[in-house]
């Protein structure tokens, strides 16, 4: 049975070890047609995240996909310090080739707006793996283009789980709370994948060994990336595979339990900046609150090792 027509997507990202895994998953998945990659500062600075996007495309032989450099800082506050867990290069020191192409000269938001205005309304999805600064700027500066997005699937936030940069705050939303608030309040179709789900998706040593032995370059690279995501050599389970959950949801939403919640975003200056609150006056958002984690990992392996 032939595949359905691939879904046209833009990947908005700050690679990042788990971003890199998600991007490689998207690149091997025939269900996606990737129009471009837009970068944002987050895990590390914008020059490094942009270079890492190009390095991943060079590794995959997909330099037909353009890279557009986006926001170097949050909308209205200083950017976060780089996350040590991703290493000085942002991807755990895993060996990747240098980009074969320079990033495009057009700013990310201008390119994305033109793409949305050119393509039929509702046919372009955005898979958002980092702080939401680029999408917030699109909403605020190019509202006619923004309203043509099919949907945004974003990794971010915590609902019932403790945060990872504060009691209630998750890194992507904490890094630019004003941007998160603008996107949540925009009324655009938004699926949010919070820590409540991503913390359930962790790889075992056996999983990475299977990828390594598959003979598929992308699978072996993902195995290397995950191996750099184990906290210690003795640990048998990786850190959460946060960002690949965005691609896994887009591929197989039936693996996730989704609820519509009305949410507001804390934009204060305290440690709860970026925290999500269930609020009857908030904006309706589709939120994943459960996942069949073994099936999600099986799908990740299947996509990476298929012919």
Tokens read off for 276: 């999500």
Distance CA 231, CA 228 (A): 8
Task: List strands edge to edge, sheet with 276-278.
Answer: 67-69, 32-39, 7-13, 124-128, 149-155, 190-193, 283-291, 256-265, 276-278
In 176-281, which ranges are continuous DSSP H helix? 177-185, 195-198, 205-212, 217-227, 244-251
Distance CA 60, CA 39 (A): 18
Give the active site residue among 160, 224, 235, 242: 242
Asked if residue 24 lies in contact with residue 60, where contact means CB atoms within 8 angstroms, the answer is yes
Tokens read off for 186: 């925009």
φ, ψ of residue 286 in degrees (nearest 5)? -80, 120
Active site residue 242: yes
Distance CA 270, CA 236 (A): 35
Distance CA 304, CA 306 (A): 6
As annotated, the active-site residues are 242
């Amino acid at each position: 049975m032939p595949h359905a027509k691939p879904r046209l997507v833009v990947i908005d990202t700050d690679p990042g070890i788990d971003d890199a895994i998600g991007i490689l998953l998207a690149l091997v998945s025939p269900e996606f047609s990737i129009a471009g990659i837009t970068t944002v500062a987050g895990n590390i600075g914008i020059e490094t995240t942009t270079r890492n996007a190009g390095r991943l495309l060079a590794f995959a032989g997909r330099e037909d996909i353009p890279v557009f450099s986006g926001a170097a800082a949050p909308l209205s506050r200083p950017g976060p310090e780089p996350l040590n867990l991703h290493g000085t290069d942002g991807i755990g020191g895993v060996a990747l080739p240098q980009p074969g192409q320079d990033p495009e000269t057009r700013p990310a938001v201008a390119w994305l707006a033109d793409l949305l205005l050119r393509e039929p309304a509702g046919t372009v999805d955005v898979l958002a793996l980092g702080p939401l600064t680029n999408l917030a700027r699109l909403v605020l500066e190019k509202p006619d283009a923004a309203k043509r997005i099919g949907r945004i699937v974003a990794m971010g936030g915590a609902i019932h789980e403790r945060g990872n940069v504060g009691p209630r705050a998750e890194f992507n939303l904490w890094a630019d709370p004003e941007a998160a608030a603008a996107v949540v309040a925009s009324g655009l179709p938004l699926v949010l994948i919070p820590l409540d789900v991503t913390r359930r998706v962790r790889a075992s040593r056996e999983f990475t060994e299977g990828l390594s032995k598959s003979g598929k370059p992308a699978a072996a690279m993902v195995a290397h990336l995950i191996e750099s995501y184990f906290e210690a050599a003795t640990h048998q389970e990786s850190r959460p595979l946060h960002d690949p959950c965005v691609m896994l949801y887009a591929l197989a939403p039936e693996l996730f339990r989704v609820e519509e919640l009305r949410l507001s975003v804390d934009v204060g200056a305290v440690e709860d900046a970026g925290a999500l609150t269930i609020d009857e006056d908030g904006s309706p958002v589709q939120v994943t609150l459960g996942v069949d984690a073994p099936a999600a990992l099986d799908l990740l392996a299947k996509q990476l090792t298929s012919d």
